[in-house]
Amino acid sequence: MTLPVVALFNSKGGVGKTLLVYHLAWMYAELGVRVLAVDLDPQANLTTAFIEEDDLIALWPDEGHGPTVYGSIRPLLRGIGDVAAAPLIALDDQLALLPGDLALSQFEDEFSNQWLDCLEGKERAFRVISAFHRLIADGIRRCRADIALVDVGSNLGAINRAALVAATHVVVPLAPDLFSLQGLRNLGPTLRRWRGEWQARLPHNLDAELELPAGRMSPIGYVLQQHGVRRGQPVVAYRRWMQRIPPVYRKDVLDEGGEAPPIDDDPNCLAQLKHYRSLAPMALDARKPVFALKPADGAFGGHQKAVQHAHRDFAELATTIAERVGTNLRAASASA
């Protein structure tokens, strides 16, 4: 059985994508699920969220390249070898990180060129485009992960295309604004095009032993984040944009007709996460997820109630995603 590789993707930045991956990874670990967090965003923000600054120096040295995603695929991109072993960093008994690298952005054109060369049946082209998939698969095997969470960049470029081809499922983080709606209108058709183009390339692969991704990248829903709440309900300005999301997601991402339900009843809405305001910088300073903050971190009084709400919200979201991708949380936890 293919284990789920879940990419969190929105071509519009600033929607909390990386923090969502970070919090979900820690929540799965808390639930007893082995999880591999993968940083394929050339900005490498997920890596900086997990790793202390002093340790980042070893990952990103001034000279040469450290044990990162880029370091592993660099021989292949330079034409002097293939993908090296996944450079895993154990963050917890249940959580490992495949660290990113800002140097990855140098090879946008290479991924673009090799995508075209796949149609000519060139072996190296398929090795380059499948590099992320093979690196993730190696990481999953080595840390015995039950699920992989992948952070990707906020664009529709060639690196992201190779990263999404490696994904079995896609979750779309959104903010309640016009820009997120426009991003949805671009994202859906792009995913369908990439899926179709990859399927058209697969028959041209001549190496039957090369491990290639299926390129499913199936959308399983969206997560609405950072909306303000007053007396238990989103404020009016946000609510207006929130109600426009279900029909756009249904039409442009799922390519389905019919009338969409309100957002509170929309099965495609995986969660509505409110803005945790002062807890976010507190968690950043403590280098831990919002839901793990303690009084010693500064989360006193009313903050602790917000921490409890955050824990409930992320536990429910993690459970919902696991159900959508076919991960049995109880079985995964029992085997840990």
Domain map of the chain by residue range?
5-326
The share of the chain scoring above pLDDT 90, in percent, equals: 68
With tokens 């670990």, the residue in question is 29
What span, in angstroms and rounded, lies between the C-alpha atoms of 243 and 269? Answer: 11
| For range 140-151, the mean pLDDT | 96
Instruction: With beta carbons less than 8 A apart as the criterion, state whether 253 and 184 touch.
Output: yes
Nearest CA-CA partner of 158 in 125, 114, 196, 206: 114
Residue 191 is encoded by which pair of tokens?
């995913």
Under CATH, domain 5-326 is a member of which superfamily? Answer: P-loop containing nucleotide triphosphate hydrolases (3.40.50.300)
User: pLDDT of 183-205, one tens digit each?
Assistant: 899 999 999 999 999 999 999 99
Cα 261 to the chain's mean position, in Å? 26
SS3 content of the chain, % helix, strand, coil (to 5): 50, 15, 35
H/E element holding 116?
helix 108-117
Q: Above 70 in pLDDT, residue 3?
A: yes
Confidence band for 229, pLDDT divided at 50, 70 and 90: low
Q: What is the pTM of this model?
A: 0.94
Could you please report the per-residue DSSP string of 22-69?
HHHHHHHHHTT--EEEEE--TT-HHHHHHS-HHHHHHHS-SSS--SSH
Residue 225 is encoded by which pair of tokens?
């984040």
Confidence band for 29, pLDDT divided at 50, 70 and 90: very high
DSSP state of 332: H
* Torsional sign, CA 158, 159, 161, 162: positive
Q: Could you give the angle at the alpha carbon of 162 between the alpha carbons of 141 and 13, nearest 5°?
A: 105
**pLDDT for residue 282:** 85
Confidence band for 66, pLDDT divided at 50, 70 and 90: confident
User: pLDDT of 236-276, one tens digit each?
Assistant: 667 888 899 999 999 999 999 899 999 999 999 999 987 77
User: What's the full length of the chain, in residues?
Assistant: 336
**pLDDT for residue 227:** 58
What span, in angstroms and rounded, lies between the C-alpha atoms of 81 and 333? Answer: 38
Is beta strand 169-174 parallel, antiparallel or unpaired with respect to 5-8?
parallel
Q: How many Cα atoms within 13 Å fall on the side-chain side of residue 126?
A: 24
What span, in angstroms and rounded, lies between the C-alpha atoms of 233 and 217? Answer: 33
SS3 16: coil
Cα 50 to the chain's mean position, in Å? 14
Name the most confidently modeled range: 50-54, 87-91, 237-241. Answer: 87-91
**pLDDT for residue 233:** 60
